[in-house]
Amino acid sequence: MKNTFVFKSSYNFFEFIKPVLFILLISLSALVNAQQKVIQLYKGAAPGSENWTWDEKENDHNQFNMKVVYNVSHPTLTVFLPDTSIANGTSVIICPIS
């Protein structure tokens, strides 16, 4: 006699996980957008780009479907601060591949 396991369920797992993921994403987006501070890295244009006439552009139509920003002459850092009630002094700097 061959033992086989057949999963038969009237409840679809993905129907359960959709609302959970939705609530999680909404919660995370609220935290991320809570406090942002933009820091200019240079006063004016970055060294070597003072005479550029190109406009900064974004593109997400590439092999990896990843947002790419180019022709940047005024680079910035965006700071995402946590709520002061949970801030503990720890920080992380994320630098994408350029």
pLDDT tens digits, 28-73: 665 555 557 888 999 999 999 999 999 999 998 888 888 888 899 9
Tell me if 74 sits within 8 A of 45, measured CB to CB: yes
Q: How far is CA 52 from CA 22, 44, 70, 85, 89, in A?
A: 43, 12, 12, 44, 39
- CA 38 – CA 22 distance, rounded (Å): 28
Write down the pTM of the prediction.
Answer: 0.51
**What's residue 57's pLDDT?**
92
What six digits make up the tokens of 33?
A: 């957008």
Residue of higher predicted confidence among 14 and 44: 44
Cα dist from 67 to 1, 55, 57, 60, 98, whole Å = 55, 16, 10, 4, 12
For the chain, the average pLDDT equals 77
